[in-house]
Amino acid sequence: MEQVSFGALLRTYRCEAKLTQQELAACTGLSSSTISKLEREVEQPRRYTIGTIAAALTLTPAATARLRAAARLGQDSMGSLLTDDKPSTVNYRAPATSLVGREREVEAICALLADPCVRLLTLSGPGGVGKTRLALRVLEEMREGRPSATLIVSLAEARNEADVVGAIAQGLALPNVGPRSVYERLVAYLRGQEVLVLLDNFEHLLSAAARVADLLSQCPLLRVLVTSRARLRVSDEHDFAVPPWLCHRRRRSPVATWLSAPTLPFAYLQSVCAPYAQVSMSRPITRRP
């Protein structure tokens, strides 16, 4: 099949939808000047711009994929179109502490997300176990060498299903225009687009789990990583129970060794405590339970 440039393909799709450049601009929230520059290939499209245009034109997944492929041909680098140096964030604050000692968990979670069959993965565990820091480290690993976009959405202040959908749409910079609902525009945008979304702190929004599952069913390239104190309990969910972090064992001090011994003979106690105090005893000491 002969390759068509992005500008020519965009013009074709716009004409098929019977929209002028001004009308398409009004539907996408872009300026008519930007639409003109894209069609004349004076300006290169950004990732979210393509999704917004595809949603406005109600393109099929195949047409959206073809539009993205045409855009990639016009880029000097694939990464300039499909990836960012940093993920998009919504209501997110970086943790005050860094991740330590979770290499095995990071490797295991990355392996799960690399499996095409795993599109909804929940990191479950009690509060304070380090689920958010672990998820962020996984995103760092997953972004290396992959063309997928990454979105981090903190749901700590969300209260219902509408807030979840709105937060994702906000992170993708979807314009609030047109008669369709936010969810319908979100589905249209994500069809045919490879995106990894982190939904952080989901435990108080379990009633919205069905909506997340429905979004995944309609967007075959979407993957969702969730942190929650409880599982979402929806179909096709994979659960990864985050274990408590255990400190590496340190060399025991003389006092710790003394306290842990059930029966302490005089000779042993004298050798341990000699540097600290003068001890004179005639019988073993038994540690109280």
What's the burial of 141, exposed, middle or buried (CB within 10 Å: 0-12/13-18/19+)? middle
Identify whether 53 is part of a domain: yes
For residues 92 and 77, membership in a common domain is answered with no
Do residues 145 and 70 share a domain?
no
Question: Which tokens belong to 191?
Answer: 């069809």
Strand-pair partners of 241: 124
Give the strand order in the sheet containing 195-200.
88-90, 149-154, 195-200, 222-228, 120-124, 237-241
- Same domain flag for 68 and 178: no
Q: How far is CA 205 from the centre of its chain?
A: 17
pLDDT tens, residue by residue, 95-141: 555 566 788 899 899 999 989 899 999 999 999 898 998 999 898 88
Beta bridge partners of 198: 152, 225
What's the chain's average pLDDT?
78
Average pLDDT for residues 177-205, to the nearest whole number?
Answer: 87
Three-state SS at 125: coil
Residue 195 shares a structural domain with residue 53: no
Based on the fold, state whether residues 96 and 157 are members of the same structural domain. Answer: yes
**pTM (2 d.p.):** 0.59
Instruction: Give me the pLDDT at residue 94, please.
Output: 56
Share of the chain above pLDDT 70, in %: 70
Residues 74 and 94 in one domain: no
**Looking at the domain assignment, is residue 216 inside a domain?**
yes
- The CATH code of the domain that includes 168 is 3.40.50.300
The CB density around residue 143, as the number of other CB atoms within 10 Å, is 18
How far are the Cα atoms of 255, 263, 268, 271, 284 from residue 281, in angstroms, in the given order? 18, 14, 11, 12, 8
Of the ranges 191-200, 207-216, 225-234, which one carries the lowest mean pLDDT score? 191-200
Q: Using the 3D structure, point to which of 82, 105, 126 is the last residue of a domain.
A: 82
Residues 92 and 233 in one domain: yes
**199 and 117 housed in the same domain:** yes
Q: List the single range of 30-34, 163-167, 176-180, 256-260 with lowest mean pLDDT.
A: 256-260
Domain co-membership, 149 together with 50: no
Same domain, 113 and 179: yes
Task: Inform me whether the pLDDT recorded for 247 exceeds 50.
Answer: no
What pLDDT shows up at residue 10?
93
pLDDT in tens, 74-83: 543 333 333 3
3-class secondary-structure state, position 2: coil
The answer to whether residue 26 is domain-embedded is yes
> Domain limits at 272?
254-286
